[in-house]
């Protein structure tokens, strides 16, 4: 089965480079436009379900896809973004200005290895809930990146693991195993596939 994993559209905090984590920040105007563009790119793919993180930036992106294809949106709590603790709402520059010379904070931040484990568990749960179906999963950049890093060897990883807002990654699930087929495709790139 195929999982088309979509990062949510842009938010104002993305623009300001603020760490969002569990903060429930909605899409901005460009984010809504990106969501509609991604929905159009996915329109020709025969998927049968849409599963989303409960945070509004993901659910609004999923709603744009659902509106175009006429499917309901299911929610999977495991798809929520990484808990960033005291970094929520702050930029790296703000933190460094307030804490010169100190190492980056870990207080309250979900460990990266735990995000990798949860990312794999979340995508696997989505796949198991829809056996033999191709689905769209809408989630967050940190979770997708963590899952991809867990599955790809260092040599297989793209040079840049950042995900563009509203980009699409494809994971396949077969015989109880996830694999990464492609990473960080834009709507335009997906249309030519």
Residue positions annotated with a catalytic role: 8, 81
Q: What is the dihedral of CA 41, 187, 157, 59, to 10 degrees?
A: -70
SS3 of 109, please?
A: strand
85 Cα distance to chain centroid: 19
Q: Which residues face 137 on adjacent strands?
A: 5, 51
Give the residue carrying structure tokens 């949860």: 118
Task: Please state, in angstroms and as integers, the Cα–Cα distance from residue 74 to each residue in 49, 50, 86, 157, following that order.
Answer: 8, 6, 30, 30
Q: What does 117-169 look like in DSSP terms, one character per residue?
A: HHHHHHHHHHHHHSTT--EEEEE-HHHHHHHHHHHS-TTTS-S-----TT-EE
Contacts of 105 by beta carbon, 8 Å cutoff, 6+ apart: 85, 86, 87, 95, 99
């Amino acid at each position: 089965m195929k999982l088309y994993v979509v990062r949510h559209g842009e938010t104002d905090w993305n623009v300001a480079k603020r760490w969002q984590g569990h903060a429930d920040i909605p899409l901005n105007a460009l984010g809504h436009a990106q969501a509609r563009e991604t929905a159009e790119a996915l329109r020709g793919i025969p998927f049968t379900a849409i599963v989303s993180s409960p945070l509004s930036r993901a659910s609004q992106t999923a709603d744009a896809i659902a509106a175009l294809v006429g499917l309901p949106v299911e929610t999977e709590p495991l798809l929520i973004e990484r808990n960033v603790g005291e970094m929520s709402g702050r930029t790296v520059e703000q933190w460094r200005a307030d804490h010169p010379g100190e190492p980056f904070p870990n207080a309250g931040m979900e460990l990266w290895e735990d995000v990798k484990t949860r990312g794999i568990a979340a995508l696997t749960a989505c796949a198991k809930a829809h056996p033999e179906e191709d689905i769209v999963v809408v989630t967050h950049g940190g979770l997708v990146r963590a899952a991809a890093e867990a599955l790809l060897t260092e040599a297989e990883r793209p040079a840049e693991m950042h995900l563009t807002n509203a980009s699409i990654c494809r994971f396949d699930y077969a015989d109880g195993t996830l694999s990464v087929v492609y990473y960080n495709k834009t709507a335009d790139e997906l249309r030519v596939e």
